[in-house]
Amino acid sequence: MIKPEKDAYGQELLAFLQGEEVYEIIEREDHFIDASPHGPAVYFSEFPDWPQIEQEAIQYAHGRVLDVGCGAGRVCLYLQEKGLEILGIDNSPLALEVCKQRGVNNVSLTPLSQVSSRLGIFDTIVMFGNNFGLFESPAKAKHRLRKFARLTSPEGCILAESSDIYLTTDQDHLAYQASNRQKGRMSGQIRLRVRHRKSIGSWFDYLMVSKGEMEETVAGTGWEVGRFIDSAESPLYIAILEKVP
């Protein structure tokens, strides 16, 4: 379990819930720092303020739902109101405390790597907020997608959000992508950590893929891309992954 002093992400969410002015600070391994005053609010946003692609994709949610990396519980709260049974999982204890304070009914302190049959069978798995990235690497993505295939019903689907990092013109990002390729990593395989005041989270890997890379990653895992939902404003997109017949 992450100790409170290391749970920078959870500290950020809790501070925002308590009405503090909060910046989301992300540090990449190459010392690139991104500080956003809008980041924390996204985790608390209600449906009308979600990106259009998420508003469209969530309509595919059905049956019993697993929200991977549930954060402050925005997806859980929306689907609860729609009458769906939903379980939110996260590796941040403080994030789950925020979920409970906001009225989320069912949460579990479960990292993605520990998702198993003990959680039951699901009809929909939601990975919003770029959370396809939580797969960490292409190899781990394939392994976990095969596991998801065993943990979902025949009509199961995954709503997987990612970002096409190749669309950037930022020289810092392009240099990092080139460095990744030189190391034999995928261009969008990012190592980062979250900081909040004196709290510094642990380093973790995060995977961003183009649509072509998404199709390559899911091939042979029991899933296929049913359709893509593209954003008109950003490189973000959502893949609706369906079971291979």
Mean pLDDT by 10 residues, the chain (245 residues): 92 97 96 91 97 98 98 98 98 98 98 96 98 98 98 98 96 97 97 96 97 98 98 96 96
Q: What CATH number is attached to the domain comprising 49?
A: 3.40.50.150
Separation between Cα atoms, residue 149 and residue 126, nearest integer Å: 14
Structure tokens at 83: 């009458």
What integer pLDDT is reported at residue 37 of this predicted model? 83
Per residue in 166-215, pLDDT (tens digit) is 999 999 999 999 999 999 999 999 999 999 999 999 999 999 999 999 99
Structure tokens at 70: 């549930």
Q: Show the domain range for 102.
A: 4-243
What integer pLDDT is reported at residue 38 of this predicted model? 85
Are 22 and 83 a contacting pair, CB within 8 Å? no
Task: Identify the H or E element spanning 93.
Answer: helix 93-102
Q: At what angle do helices 93-102 and 8-17 cross, to 10 degrees?
A: 20
Could you tell me how far CA 210 lies from the centroid of its own chain?
Answer: 16
Report how many domains make up the chain.
Answer: 1
> What number of other Cβ atoms are within 10 A of residue 155's Cβ?
11
CA atoms within 13 Å, Cβ hemisphere of 128 = 31
